Amino acid sequence: MVSKLENSCWNALLLLKKQLRLWEEPVRFCFIQFGAKEQIRINSHLEPASDCITALLVLDKTWSGNNYDIPFFAFNGIIELEEHQADSIPEDIRSWIKLYAPYCFLSVISKEMGRTIVVSHFAQTLDGRIATVTGDSKWIGNKSNRIHAHRMRALSDGVLIGTGTMKRDNPKLTVRHVDGPTPIRIILGSSSCNLNSLLDASYSPIWILTDSNFESNKGVEVIEFKSENGYIPTLEIIKHLHDRDIKSVYIEGGTMTTSQFLRENNIDILQLHFSPMILGSGYQSFILPEVKKISDSVHFKSQTFIDVGDSIMFVGEVEKQV
């Protein structure tokens, strides 16, 4: 059960994402206030109120001190937030800020880097499987994980899956478990698939990224790409998304789609929810070229493990291969 304060915290985070998305100037710091009334200030002071919790989020590494004497969180990389003087904020709210506030800033990071930021998520078993051999994946993740995925969709401009997942799962790709906007829903691939589950669930746009003459439906935009050996280079996809003002995209699988993005160095942040089960067969989370040495594996610049209901989620910023 989400408390009133947690609800207010979520609303403040949605407001933060919305305001940062519209902000044109460089961002140095932001005030976030939740409790009686959610408020956000970017690069300027916000007077703390007695019936609210106020926190400061600091991006600017040259920032030299907290003259306001209120709790603050300082960015270290894209997803890591270090706590400072934050003991006065209830622990569950601190966890919320540390888990979700970084994703509110992805539009800012995207502007700095000049490209769309890619976050990828899987719910997987302890032996790294995301579905059984028949493709059954409902539900490897627990309810908290599904709510988490909906929160992430609400904080992203787009959500992307491959046609394999579309055909097997008939997802809606909405945010029905939480408040917030449904992102643009993006399907990657060329084989025809039934899109009724998407069309019936929401009016949010649907894009098909394909290398063939995909049969167009009303309410669906078909975007054609050149492919190489049947695959659209993922860099071309990201460039297109950036040109269309998609600052952040949440990739929700399956194996082939996510692996292609990872193989081509185009995932920034990976979220892996570990469920306490072992399949011993089925769809692997990733299929990548063989490596001979451990040092050649995918590494992370920063990582953290977070409790999600009765299981844990790994969140890591991928160390890009040069």
Ligand X SMILES: NC(=O)c1ccc[n+]([C@@H]2O[C@H](COP(=O)([O-])OP(=O)(O)OC[C@H]3O[C@@H](n4cnc5c(N)ncnc54)[C@H](OP(=O)(O)O)[C@@H]3O)[C@@H](O)[C@H]2O)c1
| Interactions with ligand X, residue window 105-124 (CB under 6 A) | 122-123
Q: Which residues contact 312 (CB under 8 A, 6 or more apart)?
A: 273, 274, 305, 306
Longest pairwise C-alpha distance within the chain? 62
The smaller minimum CB distance to ligand X, of residues 56 and 123, is found at 123
Contact between 248 and ligand X per CB under 6 A: no
- Should residue 232 be labelled a site residue for ligand X when binding is judged by CB under 6 A? yes
Sites for ligand X among residues 190-219 (CB under 6 A):
190-191
Q: Which of 107, 174, 257, 271 binds ligand X (CB under 6 A)?
A: 257
Give 71 or 254: the residue with its C-beta nearer to ligand X. 254
Q: Which of 221, 252, 268 is CA-nearest to residue 78?
A: 268
The answer to whether residue 268 forms part of the interface with ligand X (CB under 6 A) is no
Nearer to ligand X, 35 or 164 (CB): 164
Q: How far is the CB of 226 from ligand X (least distance, A)?
A: 11
Judged by beta carbon, residue 76 or residue 191, the one nearer ligand X is: 191
Contacting residue, 35, 71, 180, 254, with ligand X by CB under 6 A: 254
Based on the shown chain and the rule CB under 6 A, indicate whether residue 81 belongs to the binding site for ligand X.
no
Asked if 282 contacts 129 with a C-beta cutoff of 8 angstroms, the reply is yes
Count the residues of the shown chain that bind ligand X, applying the rule CB under 6 A: 30
Which parts of 7-36 interact with ligand X (CB under 6 A)? none
- DSSP per-residue string spanning 75-110: EETTTEEEEESGGGS-HHHHHHHHHHHHHHTHHHHH
**76: Cα separation from own chain's centroid:** 18
Q: Which of residues 89 and 232 has its CB atom nearest to ligand X in the complex?
A: 232
Among 131, 154, 251, 262, binds ligand X (CB under 6 A): 131
- Name the H helices within 232-320: 234-243, 255-263
If we measure between CA atoms, which residue out of 253, 311, 276 comes closest to residue 131?
253
x/- map, 135-154, ligand X, by CB under 6 A: x-x--x--------------
Are 160 and 261 in contact, with CB atoms under 8 Å apart? no
Residue with tokens 């995909």: 214
Least gap, CB of 191 to ligand X (angstroms) = 3
d(CA 269, CA 262): 10
Contact pattern from residue 161 through residue 180 relative to ligand X, giving x for each residue in contact according to CB under 6 A and a dash for the rest: xxxxx--xx-----------
Please tell me whether residue 128 binds ligand X under the rule CB under 6 A. Answer: no
User: Applying CB under 6 A, which of residues 204, 260, 271, 311 lies at the interface with ligand X?
Assistant: 260
Phi, psi of 285 (to 5 degrees): -65, -45
Whichever of 6 and 211 has its CB closer to ligand X, that residue is 211
Residue 255 as a binder of ligand X (CB under 6 A): the answer is yes
Q: How far is the CB of 121 from ligand X (least distance, A)?
A: 7
User: Does residue number 39 form part of the binding site for ligand X (CB under 6 A)?
Assistant: no
Q: Select from 253, 271, 274, 279 the one that contacts ligand X (CB under 6 A).
A: 253
Which residues, 6 or more positions from 13, have their beta carbon under 8 angstroms from its beta carbon?
A: 32, 96, 97, 100, 101, 104, 155
Is residue 200 within 8 Å of 171, Cβ to Cβ? no
Whole-Å CA distances, 97 to 4, 53, 180, 209, 225: 15, 12, 17, 34, 38
Q: Which residues bind ligand X (CB under 6 A)?
A: 122-123, 130-131, 135, 137, 140, 161-165, 168-169, 188-191, 227, 231-232, 234, 252-257, 260, 283
